[in-house]
Amino acid sequence: MIGGVTLHPLFFMALFLILLVKGMAEFYSFFPQPDQKPFRIPGIITGALLFLSGFLFRYLYLPANIFLILPLAILALLAIPMFRKEGNTLIQLAVTLLGLLYVALPISLMTGLVYHPYQPGFNYQVALFLLVIIWLNDTGAYLTGMLIGKHKLFPRISPRKTWEGLAGGLAFACLASWLMRPLIPDIPVLHAWILTLGIVVSGTFGDLVESYFKRMAGVKDSGKFMPGHGGMLDRFDSLLFAIVLTFILINLL
């Protein structure tokens, strides 16, 4: 992950394109029922176009009309239900679009963190800051929850998450934010702390949302991509929501 974010823009593109395709495939696998079965291939292709158009627009300095690809792809996606003979095509279309909203849009916004308004060109600092905060938050929450966790956060959705784990994750994240302060000198200190808190809260919420999807689908893991760790979404569920909030805060603050 660190290499994909820091070494070269094309490594970044390849890494997050893989995350997008695998993440959307895992999300669509949550809905195997005929009445809900999404338009898997068209949905993934549309998500990939969403990401690639935004990235290549910045990397190759393409004209803004490259984004005309997106409405055409979405219109094609909307036309597919006319050719499907089984299932409730309205629900199937809704699930397909939900996959775009849940996975493809956040990953596409990641491009806006490496090509941000502060400096011209590819700058990995904010994206790397986001990743490290997420990792340290998850690690701190796990360790603290295992050691002293007693009060459940949302037992109906994720019985293992505790308020103590949330506090421990925030403490680890704040430590990481302080240590990484030299990486983002252009961001004021107060804004960096706001960013850290927002990443922790949104990342925790993203984790809970993915747990809800898995519980609804009746599965333990989103896939078997990483043995012992589950699928791609199991590793990057926190990141999806944190990307969106980070993108908003970076542009607002």
Contact 242, 202 (CB under 8 A): yes
Say if residue 88 is in the same domain as residue 149: no
Q: Is the pLDDT of residue 104 over 80?
A: yes
Say if residue 156 is in the same domain as residue 196: yes
Say if residue 183 is in the same domain as residue 206: yes
Say if residue 115 is in the same domain as residue 129: no
* Boundary residue ending a domain (87, 121, 155): 121
Domain count of the fold of the chain? 2
pLDDT, tens digit, for every residue of 161-205? 777 888 888 999 999 999 998 888 888 899 999 999 999 999 999
Say if residue 140 is in the same domain as residue 95: no
Say if residue 81 is in the same domain as residue 144: no
Average pLDDT score over residue span 234-241: 90
Q: CA–CA separation, 149 vs 161, rounded Å?
A: 8
* Boundary residue ending a domain (96, 121, 146): 121
On average, the pLDDT of the chain sits at 86
| Predicted confidence band of residue 151 (pLDDT cuts 50, 70, 90) | confident
Average pLDDT score over residue span 94-100: 91
**C-alpha distances in Å from residue 33, one per residue of 73, 79, 91, 213:** 25, 21, 11, 14
Coil vs helix vs strand at 161: strand
* Boundary residue ending a domain (97, 121, 145): 121
Containing structural domain, residue 92: 1-121
Please state which of the ranges 119-128, 137-146, 214-223 shows the lowest mean pLDDT. 214-223
Say if residue 128 is in the same domain as residue 215: yes
| Residue 48 confidence (pLDDT) | 92
Q: CA–CA separation, 229 vs 221, rounded Å?
A: 8
Say if residue 128 is in the same domain as residue 252: yes
Say if residue 116 is in the same domain as residue 131: no
* pTM of the complete model: 0.89
